[in-house]
Structures are given as structure tokens and as C-alpha cells.
A and B are shown apart, each in its own frame.
Chain A
């Protein structure tokens, strides 16, 4: 990216860039190239989500603003933007505003290591998987802080539920990641994708882990059937109850950016990222990023499908599923994968 920019400036303006400035500029351009389409994708995914639920409930969904209602999300965004930001009198002002900003920020920074195609990645980290895991484990702070800073019982209750839930499901997500990276032999996301050439991990004995990961991703992003932190009927909207206007919008955008991120993670870890299903030359005519976006689209459809059809879990059932079902299962699978790789001599070096 930096070389390209140096060439571009020399060609366009006749200016030679200092190397460190070119590097910095390259990073900034790369960030914008990821974040701007991501925000558009967030807006459209909200629209798609609503259309999918509507379709499953035999309704029409948003169809008034713009052609087929396509502009609905932008209208909602504008409405939120024009509203007044209300800060409760007894709230801790700084933390109250910090929390939504943090949620949104974390949802964006995680995209730095996502490879969109062979070599198309902002930062090709050697520890990409760990980076994603670290960022997703930080997501709990935005919620816990908002619940505390609101100084409201409903918000605090929602925040407590949410943090307990996220911490529980992170454990099994961690073990699922271990099985994948043992099989791929790398912590680098691009290498994990390349290890799946011709055989996606979902078509290997790692399939149960893909299911565990998908369900844990639902819990991690507070999507139904695990949306107890919001639970409109019991605690009105949980940690979001005191938020209005752009502060609420940041939570909302962050939530959807996280959901798309989880879809991307499922695609990278189990559906072969930018690779076609078979290692067959004609399939490579379709560019890699189209495969990748198609997979994200498909997994996002699964997310919407689950939300439209599955009722909310009870809290003890949620905890039981996380600790008594997923944790032993994923731990067992780590051991089985290790033994299998050792016995068949397939340990990647």
C-alpha cells in the first residue's frame, strides 16, 4: 500500500513522500478502506436482518423509505442523530459516554487482521487469532461500564447478566480456536485459510466445533436466543435502557459490526475464507473476496434465521449449555484432535 501511495503522489503531484510518512498514510488509507464499507455493510445488514424476520413471519418488513425500503437504516440513523443525548443526572458522565464509544471502537479495530483475499489484509499479524480473541474478550467492558455508569437497576442487572454470559462462552470459543489452530498449525488467519485449501474445516471432523463456535458466537454477540442482557420483557433493554440518540446508535452499530465480525470469523475458521469449496481451477475465476463476502452473507442469514425462529433461553439453561455442555465437549475435542493429529502424523510444522 505504501509503495503504491509513493508512486501515486509522484505521478499525480510530483512529490516524493518520506518513507515513514508514506507508511503512516498507507495505514490510514487502509483503515478508511475497511471502515467505510463496513459501516455501509452494518446499515445494510440491519435492513437485511429485518427483511429476513419479516419474510419468516409472513410480513413485508421495511418497504417505505427508498426503493424496497433500502434506505430504512439511513432514515433511522438520521433520526437517532437528530435526537437529544440524555445523560441521567446521577450517572457517571465520563464512563457513561466512554462505554458506547468503547463498544463501537472494539467492533472496528478487530477488522484490522481479517484477510479479505490472498494478501489483502491491513495487518498480517502472526498472532491474528489471539488478537481477535483478545478484542472480543474486551467487548464485555463496554457493556459492564454502561450498566454501572447508568446508575440504574435495570441497566446494572442487564450488564451483570451480559458479562456473566460473555465470560462463560468465551471459554468454549477459546477451546474451539485451539482445535482449529492445532489442525492448521498457525495462529495467522491467512495461513489458517490456506490450510483449508480443497477441504474446508466444516467438512472435516471439526464440524461439531463449527456448531459450538456458531452457537457461542450467538451468545457472545447477545443475539437471540441468548439476548437475556436486553430481554425487553423483563429488564426493558438491559444496559441500553438509559441511552438515547448517538450514544445508543454507537451501541447498535457496534453490535451489528460485531455480528458481521463473528460471521467473518466463522467463514475464516471453518468455511475456508476466500477459498472456493473445491480445489478446482474454474472455481478460482470468481474473485476471492466474492467468495468471502458470500460466506459472510450466508452466515449472517443463519444469524437472522435463528433470531426469527428460536425462543429466548432461560438463564440457568444458558449457563448449563455453556459450562456443562460446550466446555466439556470442546475440551474433549481438543484432546481428540491432538491424538488424531499425532497418530496420523499430520501435525503441521
Chain B
């Protein structure tokens, strides 16, 4: 009862907010709807018993990636009318891509149900939830069976990160910087000098 209610609640809000992401006029509102969609998909994952993935979804996508989206969208000076102009021009191409994606999704869904391939494939055989916690099951699969793929994904991300830094890093000459070690190592006698000044005479 509660389970079904929760599922339909999460699913409906996910779909509606996903539509609002592309439908809303203000880009900031779009990003906010995107956050809502992420949140409700996390709720769906919790219902599936995949609490680890649900939390990671919120931490990575909502907590980090979308913050950057929001930053960019807020900082950009967007002309909303300009944004709407190309709508009709791209409608055909966009619609075609959408239809192709939809067809592929349907094929995947049908394949899942028809062949029963998923059930027989040993790779997906994870222990029941009662035996092992979600996190442990995922970890033992990732770090044994798929350890090379996992490491490779990590390497690709590392290379991408270094690439992004190399591409955007600029060395600007003439920028004054503070060296904290130098500041901390500075001693009293380098900084000032105490002088006894006699009245009426000055330092001379």
C-alpha cells in the first residue's frame, strides 16, 4: 500500500519535473527541476533496495554536478528570446533523435522481458538483500570481477581531469602572490627595529 503509493508519487514527480526541465522558460528553474528529478529518482532507487546508489546519486549529481550547472546558468547573461529562436529550425532533428532514443528504450525493455537473459547471466547474480548489505555486495562485485574495468574508468577520469586542467591553466606573468611559508618564517628582526627616541631630538 505505502510502497505502491510511494512508487507512483516518486515516478510521477520524476516524469513531470523531467518535462519541466526542458519546458520551463527560466534556465535556473530548469536546473531546479533537474534537481527535483534527481531526488525522486534517488527515491525510486531506495524503493528498489539500492540505497547505496540512491545516496551516491544525491551526493554526486545533486551535491556536486548540479551546483556547477547552477553556477554557470546564474553567471551567464542569457537572452531568453534568443534562446527560443532556433526552436522550429531544430524541431525536426531533435524530434528524430528523440524518436530513435524512445525506440531503443522500448527495444531494451522488451528484450529484458522476452529473453530472460538477465536472469541466467551469472554476472548479475548478487546475493539477496537479507544476506549482504547493498554497499558490501556492490563493493565485492566491483573489486573482484570488474576490478580492471573499474580501474580503467578511474584512469580515464584522471586523464580527463588532467587534460581539463592543462587546457584551462594559464600562466599569467606579473601576478603578485603570497608565499605563506615565507610569511610564517619571517622573524622579528627582519620586520622592525626598536629605537629609543629621546624627547625633542627625533631620530636624526
Contacts and interface: CB of A to CB of B under 8 A. Distances in A.
A and B, one complex?
yes
Interface of A: 20, 23-24, 92, 95, 125-127, 130-131, 133-134, 137-138, 140-141, 144-145, 148, 163, 167, 170, 187, 316-317, 320
Tell me if A's interface is mostly helix, strand, loop or mixed.
helix
Contacts of A140: 63, 67
Interface string B40-72: 000000000001100110110011100100110
A320 B180 CA distance: 9
Given A126-B134, A138-B58, A167-B64, A20 B52 contact: no
A140 B68 CA distance: 11
Contacts of A137: 58-59, 62-64
Contacts of B151: none
Contact of B135 (A20, A126, A133): A126
23 contacts: A95-B32, A125-B51, A126-B51, A127-B51, A127-B52, A127-B134, A130-B55, A131-B55, A133-B55, A134-B58, A137-B59, A137-B63, A138-B58, A138-B62, A138-B63, A144-B67, A144-B70, A145-B32, A148-B28, A167-B64, A170-B63, A187-B133, A187-B135
A126 B53 CA distance: 12
Contacts of B152: none
Interface of B: 1-2, 28, 32, 35, 51-52, 55-56, 58-59, 62-64, 67, 70-71, 74, 133-135, 178, 180
A156 to B, nearest CB: 8
A23 B71 contact: no
List the 5 shortest-distance A-B pairs measured between CB atoms, nearest first.
Answer: A137-B63, A130-B55, A134-B58, A134-B59, A127-B51
A40 B43 CA distance: 31
A126 B54 CA distance: 12
A205 to B, nearest CB: 24
A77 B59 CA distance: 33
Nearest to A126: B133
Contacts of B51: 125-127
Contact of A130 (B32, B52, B71): B52
Given A20-B1, A20-B2, A163-B71, A130 B64 contact: no
A324 to B, nearest CB: 9
Contacts of B58: 134, 137-138
A112 B81 CA distance: 45
Contacts of A148: 28, 74
